């Protein structure tokens, strides 16, 4: 029931006045009370039912916040709702979802690409489940001869969102250590064990392709296709020290053999080049000689034909004419030099020779050939 504050103050003032009268101070003027004539506002105090409702509402809000009967699923994640411990087959997609506390629960799993690094040391940067990156020990493998080899590789994969409830129900939250890790190790041991250690670096690409193909094949054998493989990267093949030394010696010997083979090929090429040049020069000389011989033969043949023509054209009358012409030249010479000596060939045939007796260092020959 609301309390009237004005009535309460009036009652208090009356009680004070009565007390003053009882003390015998009636002849005195009572003190001036400023609150006596003050009209106070009328406040209606809440009743018990209202207070109880407010308390209940606060308790409900507190329980709601404490129990948190909702979940927010981000992109790249799915939710698995469990009712009384049983997983629903349909995963919850990204968004805001309610559930019944105590009876129900929602497990949020990551469906983004995850990475497992099989390495000897933790040199892969930030490693942890929150980043989707895990590190396992490098894989120790025995080659075809029983030598121990260490293989380092990186495997990227992701959980199949549609079959996530079945996968988590079967393998639990550590499903990747139960699916990816054993498959990778078995496949690597099976593939690498087929080769001797010294051949592994040479056949690195073939080995990497076999490992990737076999891992994908083995993962596909699981029911409901729980995982999809993104990539497999063979990062390093760590060989025993004695094998490394042996491979290094073989490489040095191979390089030396390649160098000598190159030198032999160069010498062979130089020899072939010299032979080709000599052959070419010989062919040129032979061609020149043949050309010269052909030219001489042609010239001789032409001269022979000319001589035949000349010989066929000579007659006694022509020879007498040439004799007369020669004699005429000698007569002209004798007029200029009477001391000249003239030698006539037997039978009067030409050529005739005359010598200038005044200048013995000067001589002339004039003649005409004939038969």
Please check whether residue 188 is in contact with residue 139, taking contact to mean a CB–CB distance below 8 angstroms.
yes
Q: Is 329 exposed, middle or buried (0-12, 13-18, 19+ CB in 10 A)?
A: middle
pLDDT computed for residue 357 by the predictor: 52
**How high is the pLDDT of residue 181?**
93
Q: Within 13 Å of residue 219, how many CA atoms lie on the same side as its CB?
A: 29
CATH number (3.40.50.1820, 3.30.479.30, 3.30.2290.10, 2.60.40.10) of 114-239 reads 3.30.479.30
Q: What is the Cα 239 distance to its own chain's centre? A: 25
Domain boundaries, the chain: 5-65, 114-239, 241-313, 316-366
Among the listed residues 197, 185, 188, 205, the one whose alpha carbon sits nearest the alpha carbon of residue 145: 197
pTM, entire model:
0.54
Res 349: pLDDT: 52
> What does the pLDDT look like over 102-158, one tens digit per residue?
888 999 999 999 999 999 875 544 455 557 888 899 999 998 888 889 999 999 999
Q: What would the pLDDT profile of 6-65 be if each residue is shown by its tens digit? A: 555 556 666 655 555 555 544 445 555 554 454 555 545 566 778 888 888 888 777 767
């Amino acid at each position: 029931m609301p309390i009237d504050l004005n009535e309460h103050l009036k009652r208090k003032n009356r009680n004070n006045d009565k007390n003053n009268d009882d003390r015998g101070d009636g002849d005195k003027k009572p003190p001036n009370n400023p609150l006596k004539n003050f009209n106070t506002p009328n406040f209606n105090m809440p009743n018990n039912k209202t207070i109880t409702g407010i308390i209940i509402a606060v308790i409900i809000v507190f329980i709601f916040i404490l129990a948190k009967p909702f979940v927010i699923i981000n992109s790249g994640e799915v939710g698995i709702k469990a009712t009384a411990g049983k997983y629903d087959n349909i995963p919850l997609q990204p968004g805001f979802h309610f559930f019944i506390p105590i009876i129900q629960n929602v497990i949020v799993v990551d469906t983004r690409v995850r990475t497992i690094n099989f390495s000897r040391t933790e040199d892969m940067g930030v490693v942890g489940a929150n980043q989707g990156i895990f590190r396992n020990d490098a894989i120790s493998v025995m080659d075809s001869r029983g030598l121990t080899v260490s293989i380092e590789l990186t495997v990227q994969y992701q959980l199949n969102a549609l079959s996530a409830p079945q996968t988590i129900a079967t393998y639990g939250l550590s499903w990747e250590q139960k699916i990816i890790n054993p498959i990778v190790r078995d496949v690597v041991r099976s593939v690498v064990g087929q080769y001797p250690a010294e051949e592994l670096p040479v056949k690195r690409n073939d080995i990497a392709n076999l490992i990737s193909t076999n891992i994908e094949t083995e993962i596909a054998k699981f029911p409901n296709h729980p995982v999809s493989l993104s990539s497999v990267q063979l990062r390093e093949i760590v060989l025993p020290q004695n094998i490394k030394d042996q491979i290094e010696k073989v490489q040095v010997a191979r390089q030396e053999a390649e160098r000598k083979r190159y030198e032999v090929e160069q010498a062979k090429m130089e020899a072939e080049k010299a032979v080709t040049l000599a052959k070419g020069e010989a062919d040129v000389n032979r061609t020149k000689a043949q050309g010269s011989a052909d030219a001489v033969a042609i010239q001789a043949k032409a001269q022979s034909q000319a001589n035949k023509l000349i010989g066929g054209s000579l007659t006694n009358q022509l020879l007498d004419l040439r004799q007369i012409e020669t004699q005429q030249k000698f007569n002209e010479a004798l007029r200029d030099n009477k001391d000249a000596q003239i030698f006539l060939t037997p039978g009067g045939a030409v050529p005739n020779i005359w010598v200038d007796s005044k200048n013995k260092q000067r001589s002339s020959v004039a003649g005409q050939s004939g038969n």
